[in-house]
Amino acid sequence: MAPSLPPPIPKTRIGGIPGVDRGRSLFSTERFGAGETIAIIDNPLLALPDDANMRTTCNYCLYVSGTIEFEGDVEAGPRTCKACTGCKAAVYCNAECQRAHWKLVHKAECRMFKRIKERTGKDWVPTPVRAVAQVMLLLKAGDEETVKAFGPGGTLESNVEGFKTDESLWGDFELQATGAVVYAGLFQSDETLKQAMEVLCKIQTNAFNRFDADTGQAGIYLHPSLSMVNHSCVPNAYITFEKRKAVLKAERDLEPGDEILISYIDHTMPRRARQESLRLYHFQCNCIRCKDDLNAYEVIQACGVSPGVKWLNSSSFQPDVASLVPAYVERSKTVPKSKIEEIHWKCMELTCIVQGDPIENARAQWELCKPLRDAQLWALDPLPPTILRIATMLGSNRTTLAKALPLHCFMALECYPFKYPASFTPFRVKTLMTIAKLLSAAGDLTYSGDLARYCDHEGVIGVLATADIVSLTEVILRLVRQNGVIGGVASWDVLFGTKEMLRDIGDLQERDEKDAAMVKHWANNLQDPVSKAFWENVVLKPITQLASFAIEIIEAELGGNKSLARK
């Protein structure tokens, strides 16, 4: 039976025919500027922490134990989630969450965890197994919303026939579905197993992986209406997750009638890698990036930057990417796309070697990327993740952190503005925050006179000695806050961190009042000539100077006689 339609989300409509072409899609019925919220969803059908974190994450609201939260300016101290006294497996941050989850699903699930403990000695099951078991228990209880989505003829697409064509995957699904039926204590008939398989296919097709690189937390999130959003490798929208909420935001300006399109995958990878990642969704993407095999620079040239994005980018390190891309597009003609694909797969293999020497791997990746480096195509994968890997290694050690700074500045100028043209996209906000944190740490070393002991790069020492590090850090923190709020990541640890750091800067006794006043003036009068001169000299100049050292630092660090190689 063809699936019917879930209820539309306000200010949007669902169009298209189930199972025909790209099936149903979500369309905007209003105008949305870039960065504007299209919808906030707070009633998911499924919202699970991943199995590795289910003992430290509230199983209802998804609060992570030990983190600080802000409601406006009010700070809520860190809490520890407590286990359910029945199963001792699921944990909750307070009694309210425990009650809500009990009513929702845990009443039935609690017995399941006791059964799992008796049979396996474990107090957890893999996340997909738990998700299928939850849905099966809710279907058995006749839960109206679950039946509408997952029951016979329910609203969700399953792609069952597509999944069946992959024998090995189908075999894995059978194991997981059987596990869910057994643990949920359901009668193991062919009919029940078939239903559990269909539930698993529906989850695979429609659930979001709510991965948060900050906390390392992942999990499953499913809302039947939000699942109507189709994929494009040139997305005009994106979703962020804030505990039980999913926030759908416009990434470009949207007009009434536009199809809302998000990316299900990392859409900045080369084409074959994207197709491989999309295999689980059983469709051939025919967006312009895929059809014409465009790279990041060519996409910007072909699609332009929408006016709202351009306006919001005006106070970013790279305010006008569109004017810069023609030169990159020209240079990219010198590296065949098949070569870039080849480099990508070889780098992926190296990334997957868990036991390998990380420095050796980074060095090998850097070597593989030589054709991209020679053509200065810094935004094309796998060059940015390779630089990030090296920067992360340098930044995680006090003795080398000052040298991580130029690498992050370089990525903020040369990589991410072209990969993700909107300045408020989460990846770019996180990069700014990393720069602010490294600046603050390097600033401490500078003021205590210890920098030269830890950093053997004269250029970096020189820039840090002459820059107004406090003002520079304050400006970047303000950019993080501004972009983070637009980007819809207001409850991020990233943004909580800015509050603490800005407070510390405000408390500095020895700071010249004139410097503090200048930052305020800049924040309130971005376009005035004094602010522009301040931006150029105090912000952009040191960031650009630091970035200019990035490549030589990488070469030296990987070259065999410097800190990274010595570790």
Positions touching ligand SAM (CB under 6 A) are 18, 22-25, 157, 159, 205-206, 227-228, 230-232, 281-283, 285
Shorter beta-carbon distance to ligand SAM: residue 281 or 454 = 281
- Rounded to whole angstroms, the Cα distance separating 44 from 62 reads 12
Shorter beta-carbon distance to ligand SAM: residue 246 or 470 = 246
Shorter beta-carbon distance to ligand SAM: residue 172 or 444 = 172
The residue number whose beta carbon is nearest to ligand SAM equals 23
Quickly tell me which residue has 């992050």 as its tokens.
408
Contact 498, 436 (CB under 8 A): yes
Measured from the CB of residue 194, what is the shortest distance to ligand SAM in angstroms?
20
Segments in 382-450 forming alpha helices (H): 383-395, 401-410, 416-419, 426-447
Shorter beta-carbon distance to ligand SAM: residue 222 or 412 = 222
Measured from the CB of residue 261, what is the shortest distance to ligand SAM in angstroms?
7
Measured from the CB of residue 204, what is the shortest distance to ligand SAM in angstroms?
9
- Rounded to whole angstroms, the Cα distance separating 130 from 105 reads 11
217 DSSP 8-state letter: B
Quickly tell me which residue has 């409850």 as its tokens.
491
Measured from the CB of residue 161, what is the shortest distance to ligand SAM in angstroms?
11
Measured from the CB of residue 506, what is the shortest distance to ligand SAM in angstroms?
45
Q: What contacts 117, CB < 8 A, 6 or more positions away?
A: 87, 89, 123
Shorter beta-carbon distance to ligand SAM: residue 157 or 198 = 157
Shorter beta-carbon distance to ligand SAM: residue 249 or 389 = 249
Shorter beta-carbon distance to ligand SAM: residue 283 or 496 = 283
Shorter beta-carbon distance to ligand SAM: residue 146 or 230 = 230
Q: Which long-range contacts (CB under 8 A, 24 or more apart) does 135-138 make?
A: 135/46, 135/199, 135/203, 136/180, 136/181, 136/184, 136/186, 136/192, 136/195, 136/196, 136/199, 137/105, 137/108, 137/109, 137/112, 137/184, 138/105, 138/108
> Buried b / exposed e across 390-403, counting CB within 10 Å, b at 16+?
bbebbbeeeebbbb
Contact 86, 123 (CB under 8 A): no
Shorter beta-carbon distance to ligand SAM: residue 206 or 491 = 206
Measured from the CB of residue 425, what is the shortest distance to ligand SAM in angstroms?
20
Number of H helices, E strands in the chain: 28, 14
In what helix (H) or strand (E) does residue 464 lie, and over which residues does it extend? helix 458-466
**Helix, strand, or coil (residue 83):** strand
Segments in 295-357 forming alpha helices (H): 296-303, 307-312, 321-332, 337-352
Give the torsion sign (CA, 132, 491, 410, 301).
Answer: positive
Q: What contacts 230, CB < 8 A, 6 or more positions away?
A: 22, 23, 25, 26, 259, 261, 262
Structure-block tokens of residue 99: 């009650």
Q: Which of 35, 59, 71 is nearest to 495 (CA)?
A: 71
Measured from the CB of residue 157, what is the shortest distance to ligand SAM in angstroms?
3
- Rounded to whole angstroms, the Cα distance separating 399 from 118 reads 50
- Rounded to whole angstroms, the Cα distance separating 26 from 315 reads 32
Measured from the CB of residue 299, what is the shortest distance to ligand SAM in angstroms?
16
Contact 394, 407 (CB under 8 A): yes
> Buried b / exposed e across 97-110, counting CB within 10 Å, b at 16+?
bbebbbebbbebbb
Q: Assess whether the previous peptide bond of 382 is cis (omega < 30° from 0).
A: yes
Shorter beta-carbon distance to ligand SAM: residue 229 or 467 = 229
Shorter beta-carbon distance to ligand SAM: residue 5 or 523 = 5
Measured from the CB of residue 19, what is the shortest distance to ligand SAM in angstroms?
7
Measured from the CB of residue 263, what is the shortest distance to ligand SAM in angstroms?
10
Shorter beta-carbon distance to ligand SAM: residue 17 or 327 = 17
Measured from the CB of residue 145, what is the shortest distance to ligand SAM in angstroms?
16
- Rounded to whole angstroms, the Cα distance separating 67 from 70 reads 10
Q: What does 367-397 look like in DSSP terms, one character per residue?
A: HHTHHHHHTT-TTSTTHHHHHHHHHHHHHTS
Shorter beta-carbon distance to ligand SAM: residue 164 or 566 = 164
Q: Which of 553, 558, 556, 523 is nearest to 538 (CA)?
A: 523
Measured from the CB of residue 198, what is the shortest distance to ligand SAM in angstroms?
14
Shorter beta-carbon distance to ligand SAM: residue 230 or 268 = 230
Measured from the CB of residue 12, what is the shortest distance to ligand SAM in angstroms?
13
Measured from the CB of residue 278, what is the shortest distance to ligand SAM in angstroms?
8
